[in-house]
Amino acid sequence: MNTTYNVRVWKLQTLKGQTRTTYGVRWVVARRPFRETFKSRPLADSFRSELLTAIRKKRSTLTLAALYRAGVAGRI
Residues 6+ apart with CB under 8 A from 59: 5
Domain locations along the chain: 7-75
Which tens digit of pLDDT belongs to each residue from 7-53?
Answer: 889 999 999 999 999 999 998 877 888 888 999 999 999 989 888 88
**pLDDT at site 38:** 92
**pLDDT at site 1:** 52
**pLDDT at site 53:** 83
**pLDDT at site 76:** 47
What span, in angstroms and rounded, lies between the C-alpha atoms of 44 and 38?
A: 6
Residues 6+ apart with CB under 8 A from 36: 24, 25, 44, 47, 75, 76
What span, in angstroms and rounded, lies between the C-alpha atoms of 24 and 58?
A: 23
